[in-house]
Amino acid sequence: MTMLRDPSRKYRAFPQINLPDRQWPTRTITAPPRWLSTDLRDGNQSIIDPMDAVKKNRFFDLLLEVGVKEIEVGFPAAGATEFDFIQGLVRSGRIPDDVMVQVLTQSREDLIARSFESLEGARAAIVHLYNAVSPAWRQIVFNMSRDEVRAIAIKGAKALRDEAAKRPGTDWFFEYSPETFSTAELDFSLEVSEAVMDILQPTPDHPLILNLPATVEAATPNVYADQIEYFGRNIPRRDSVVISLHTHNDRGTGVAAAELGLMAGADRVEGCLFGNGERTGNCCLVTVALNMYTQGIDPNLDFSEIDRVIETVEYCNQIPVHQRHPYGGELVFTAFSGSHQDAIKKGFEAHNKQNDELWRVPYLPIDPADLGRSYEAVIRVNSQSGKGGFAWVLEQDQGLKLPKKMQAHFSKYVQQLADELGRELNAEDIWQVFRKTYHMKTPNRRFRLVDYDETRASDGTRLFTGTIEVDGQEQRVSGRGNGLISSVLATLEASFGLKLDVVDYTEHALSSGTEARAAAYVECTREDGSTVWGVGIDPDVATASVRAIVSAANSALA
């Protein structure tokens, strides 16, 4: 079996919605929705090994920490494990007063009764009723007419009403899902939902949640938005209804569908952290929330420690968060490309200098620090990286701010190492090759500064006297010049016949406080006109400059 050259023989384009005066394309999202996490229900039923009580409790605690106020905690009629977990939450008193738990049930009287029993003693709770309404399910799965499917919903709604009446100590809320809404006729979804409303009699103070799921994503997000806007315009007593979205990701656009659905007038979003769920998953709550955050909207969910959130989600689901997953993936704040690295580096530098807090760093839609990520992880180096990448890593890891020309000089050594190793270079790799290149470690250097003294002569010149280790043997040397650097150059020429001319010299502080150090960089030319570089690091800036000249001397003789 292969892909068809004419797929229209087997598949049909999803029909458009007749909504010529649609309003959602001109709207923007200006406030966060109500959020419902279904990680413990929809997410849990989608993993190979469903969570045990320990993992479910850990996940529940995480959702509370993140700030989720509505949590679908399970399907109590599915078995003892689900029922006991839900009852345990209620009896333990671990549900905060501002949090409502929710349970899901099919439209069967015995399952509905069992669901209410699991919530016995709760201060407030939501019972979520569903039945499928689309043609494929009516005709293929159930072999039922529209009237028969509507009757299932009505019977379930009556059971909700009656079971709640038996337990007046709990503040009961109801949710109804015309399951498979996105592939059902809009007039029938409205008809069934209105029939449920007639039974439950919602009010503005006690609204009914009508969840409109894209149970299987079958069209582009704009079609789903049209469906939501059409439904919201035509459902009676709109002020007594909360329209909730439950998008799946079969076409890869679950997040987009949820966002357009909010623009179309929805009030609530259901989903899972990092998009776990059946098949390709549910809408990712993290992505939708942080998309809002990058538009200046407080989503009322806190992902300040996103790595800890990921750790818990991966432990409980036993599914890794993909390295490229928006916001949370290991590589989403990482640049390997040289041009990207250079732009990010310049962006950070500009941001640190500007007076306002407005975030404008190329390639980074959000400040990684807002999510608890460190800047050190933003730029990483491999064989595709340019000089901006390793320069950024050296600056973040060692505090070194290499001159532009020195970056270009050092880049070939980084590239060579990356090619040799055939992998990404970490900060330690780069630091070690830097120390080797500029002779800051013993095995590959002829000269090592031991100590020195500088005095001013009566004629204004400077006399450098010191001890330099040459090929492992200490040697006293001296030289005279107009300043410290020129006297060191004179010493090298007089003692070793090495003539160097300084072309450029820069220095900067590495840190502040009692343990402050300085870094000095020197560009020199040899008699043949070739260029060598040296670097020196020392608590004393003058000594750092001497070490830089000695480093350049080692490079000249290498």
Beta strands in 457-491 (DSSP E): 462-470, 473-481
SS3 state at 117: helix
Q: What is the dihedral of CA 406, 408, 412, 417, to 10 degrees?
A: 70
Asked if residue 250 lies in contact with residue 216, where contact means CB atoms within 8 angstroms, the answer is yes
In the chain, what's the furthest Cα-to-Cα distance? 111
Q: Which of 222, 159, 164 is nearest to 196 (CA)?
A: 159
User: Within 318-361, where are the H helices?
Assistant: 338-353
Query: Strands 518-525 and 501-509, how do they pair?
Result: antiparallel
- Report CA-CA distances (Å) from 431 to 33, 180, 390, 393, 400: 48, 57, 9, 9, 10
For 107, the token pair is: 């439209």
Q: Classify 152 in phi/psi space as left (phi over 0), alpha (psi -120 to 50) or beta.
A: alpha
Question: What amino acid occupies position 543?
Answer: T
SS3 state at 439: coil
Q: What is the pTM of this model?
A: 0.75
Full pLDDT tens readout for the chain, 558 residues: 799 999 999 999 999 999 999 999 999 999 999 999 999 999 999 999 999 999 999 999 999 999 999 999 999 998 899 999 999 999 999 999 999 999 999 999 999 999 999 999 999 999 999 999 999 999 999 999 999 999 999 999 999 999 999 999 999 999 999 999 999 999 999 999 999 999 999 999 999 999 999 999 999 999 999 999 999 999 999 999 999 999 999 999 999 999 999 999 999 999 999 999 999 999 999 999 999 999 999 999 999 999 999 999 999 999 999 999 999 998 888 776 767 878 888 888 898 888 888 999 998 999 999 999 875 555 555 545 555 677 878 888 888 999 889 998 998 898 888 888 888 778 888 899 999 999 987 666 788 899 998 888 778 888 999 998 888 889 999 899 989 999 999 999 999 999 999 999 999 998 655 567 899 999 999 989 999 999 999 999 999 999 999 999 999 987
Angle, alpha carbons 483-523-446 (nearest 5°): 85
- Report CA-CA distances (Å) from 449 to 101, 200, 488, 505, 507: 70, 87, 11, 19, 19
3-state helix, strand, coil in the chain (%, to 5): 45, 20, 35
Which residue ranges form the domains of the chain, and what is each CATH number? 27-317 (3.20.20.70), 338-434 (no CATH), 442-557 (3.30.160.270)
Give dist(CA 12, CA 218) in Å, integer.
Answer: 10
DSSP 8-state secondary structure symbol assigned to residue 142: I
